[in-house]
Amino acid sequence: MNEYYPKNGRVILHIDMNSFFASVEIADHPELKGKPIAIAGDPKERKGVIVTCSYEAREYGVKTTMPVWEAKKLCPHLLIIQPHHDRYREASRDFFSILHQITPLVEPVSIDEGYVDITEEHHLGSPVQISKFIQQRIFSELSLPCSIGIAPNKFLAKMASDMKKPMGITILRKRDVANKLWPLPILDMHGIGKKTAEKLQSIHIFTIRDLAHANDIQLKQLLGIRGIQLKERANGIDARPVDPESINITKSIGRSRTFPEDIIEDHVIDVVLQNLAKETSLRLKRKGYLTANIMITIRYHNRKTITRSRKLHRPIQETEELFYEARSLFIQHWNGNPVRLLGVTGSDLVEEQQANEQLDLFTYEEIAKKEPLYKTISQLRDKFGENVIQTGRAIKQTSAKNKKK
């Protein structure tokens, strides 16, 4: 059995539940099996957004984020189901409970996927045998399908689990990278979203092979240190261990500003918070993260400093959202005294790709509706300046000053 386990390396599994929310609905309602179904926030609302769908629905071209009316047009007999979030959480707990019975080295990534390090589990059989056991047990106990990738590191395991769905088991070794991964479009690589792909394409990187052979200096100029990390992944290199505690690690990205003199005017504070939110947003995007927790720092004229934070309903990244949350916290906790320093920080960071995969069902439609608004506001501010769109309070302050003149 030792021949299946390297002396100096790891054997890592990535378990990915197939069409998780739809599969849970089918498990609870067997009469739905074999039918095209989709989960959307409000089945009666034709402007709703598809959050996930069954494989039968996908055969008609139905996709995640597609408007319900468009999905219905492609598949007139598509069954739209309102989400049952508590039930999905329960199924997720049961899924991870099974994994923890195999080994304590389980790292949850989102509600429906996780990594498992089986390097020390020789006694349970070969990696394929262990994978089949996990897959069959999840299906027999929970009636839920999953795909499993087997590889020497997390990145390759994730790529492998995407190769055969549903109910697939795929082995991906480093020696397979050139043949199996390099020909793929850059957008098919885990960790690369649409925006990053567009940036890479601007320097003629269209496939994973292109990225694997890209110029380090050019990548660093374009994406910072993340560009080098992505190149390593494209070459099958990933030293990250499976870390059961990683979900509890708090990372943070933020900006603060100390003023040459105390400020107290509302409209000045609004402008500062807006700029801090913008700088924080740019840093989050540059590093490929969203934040699930917003924190503000206020230092008063007497050097007394307070920090206050708020857990968010979903991870965010855009300037307007960061500004809204930071400003709300500031209004709630500011005592009205002159301020010498302000800071805006995002913590509990989530990787961009991961955040897109685990968006909360109940906020998905809200995000989809607001996305064009945030984009438009950002474009207007870039073109005409920060004050082209102001908050109601800032406008009132300006009007009051004009009256005094």
* 185-209: pLDDT as tens digits: 999 999 898 889 999 999 999 999 9
Give CATH for domain 250-399. 3.30.1490.100
Residue 257, Ramachandran bin (φ over 0: left; ψ between -120 and 50: alpha; else beta): beta
Confidence at 358, pLDDT banded by 50, 70, 90: low
Give the global pTM.
Answer: 0.67
Query: Residue positions in the annotated binding site?
Result: 16, 112
Could you give the C-alpha distances from 125 to 2, 118, 119, 363, in angstroms and in order?
9, 10, 11, 42
User: Residue 72's pLDDT is what?
Assistant: 92
400 has pLDDT over 50: no
Q: Selecting from 3.40.50.300, 3.30.70.270, 3.10.20.30, 3.40.1670.10, what CATH number does the domain 1-172 have?
A: 3.30.70.270
User: Residue 391's pLDDT is what?
Assistant: 45
Confidence at 399, pLDDT banded by 50, 70, 90: very low
What is the identity of the amino acid at 185? P
**DSSP-based three-state secondary structure for 312:** strand
User: Of 127-131, 168-172, 232-236, 310-314, which range is least confident?
Assistant: 310-314
Enumerate the active-site residues.
113
Number of Cβ within 10 Å of residue 349's Cβ equals 22
Q: Place domain 178-234 in its CATH homologous superfamily.
A: 5' to 3' exonuclease, C-terminal subdomain (1.10.150.20)
Whether 250-399 and 178-234 are alike in CATH topology: the answer is: no
Count of helix runs (H) and strand runs (E) in the chain? 15, 12
Rounded distance between C-alpha atoms, residue 48 and residue 40, angstroms = 6
pLDDT per residue as tens digits for the range 298-323: 999 888 889 999 998 888 999 999 99
15 has pLDDT over 80: yes
Rounded distance between C-alpha atoms, residue 97 and residue 258, angstroms = 48
Does the bond joining 108 to the residue before it have cis omega, within 30 degrees of 0?
A: no
Query: Residue positions in the annotated binding site for Mg(2+)?
Result: 16, 112
DSSP β-ladder status, 106-110 and 113-117 = antiparallel
Rounded distance between C-alpha atoms, residue 231 and residue 249, angstroms = 25
User: Residue 285's pLDDT is what?
Assistant: 86
The domains of the chain are located at: 1-172, 178-234, 250-399
